[in-house]
């Protein structure tokens, strides 16, 4: 087999390789100790832990708005996701908060969560949300399905569309 024949058969082998199935990437979080959710990685800009004193309370705001925080010379609304979703809120006695900086409709927000678990991939996203609790449904984009489990996926834009939030 000459050099030309070998390169032709290598090219043929490369072109017949089966592509991996498409996957979606999410950041798995806990809004509180009982509620595990996912945020689309396309919306996530940064994940950090900050001292509670870095969030400046703003008077006369809904309970889910903890205040504002300054990060990289930008000001973000800090939103307690658990309180917004009518779950038990994050522990306010804590000295540190887990924060996900996300983009929602072009506006960055700081989503305060109980715990950041890590990045996960899903085989597919289904828009069915009817089997999730009713108080979560307005905020859900769908459910991310993996081989052995499912995660409720938060629609980040829905956070900003909450009536009476701002």
Structural domain boundaries in the chain = 24-160
Q: Which fold has domain 24-160?
A: OB fold (Dihydrolipoamide Acetyltransferase, E2P) (2.40.50)
Distance CA 111, CA 162 (A): 14
81: left (phi over 0), alpha (psi -120 to 50) or beta: alpha
Six-digit token pair at 97?
A: 């908060």
User: Would you state the pLDDT for residue 92?
Assistant: 58
Averages of pLDDT over runs of 10 residues in the chain (166 residues) are 46 41 82 92 96 94 94 94 81 81 92 96 92 93 91 95 84
User: Would you state the pLDDT for residue 34?
Assistant: 87
User: Would you state the pLDDT for residue 137?
Assistant: 94
Residue 31, CA distances (Å) to 4, 13, 37 in order:
59, 47, 7
User: Would you state the pLDDT for residue 166?
Assistant: 72
For the entire predicted model, the pTM comes to 0.82
User: Would you state the pLDDT for residue 98?
Assistant: 96
Sequence-separated (6 or more) residues with CB below 8 Å from residue 147: 123
Is residue 64 within 8 Å of residue 58, measured between CB atoms? Answer: no
User: Would you state the pLDDT for residue 111?
Assistant: 97
User: Would you state the pLDDT for residue 10?
Assistant: 39
Sequence-separated (6 or more) residues with CB below 8 Å from residue 37: 28, 29, 30, 31, 81, 151, 152, 153, 154
End-to-end Cα separation, the chain, in angstroms: 72
């Amino acid at each position: 087999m000459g050099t030309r024949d070998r390169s032709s058969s290598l090219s043929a082998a490369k072109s017949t390789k089966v592509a991996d199935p498409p996957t979606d990437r999410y950041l798995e979080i806990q809004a509180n100790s009982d509620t595990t959710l996912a945020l689309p990685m396309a919306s996530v800009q940064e994940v950090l832990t900050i001292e509670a004193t870095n969030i400046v309370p703003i008077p006369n705001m809904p309970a889910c708005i903890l205040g504002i925080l300054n990060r990289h010379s930008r000001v973000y609304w800090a939103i307690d996701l658990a309180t917004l979703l009518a779950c038990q809120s994050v522990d306010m006695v804590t000295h540190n908060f887990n924060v996900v900086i996300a983009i929602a409709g072009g506006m960055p927000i700081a989503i305060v969560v109980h715990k950041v678990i890590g990045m996960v991939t899903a085989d597919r996203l289904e828009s069915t949300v009817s089997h999730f609790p009713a108080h979560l449904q307005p905020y859900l984009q769908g459910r991310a399905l993996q081989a052995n489990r499912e995660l409720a996926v938060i629609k980040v834009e829905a956070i900003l569309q909450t009536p009476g939030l701002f």
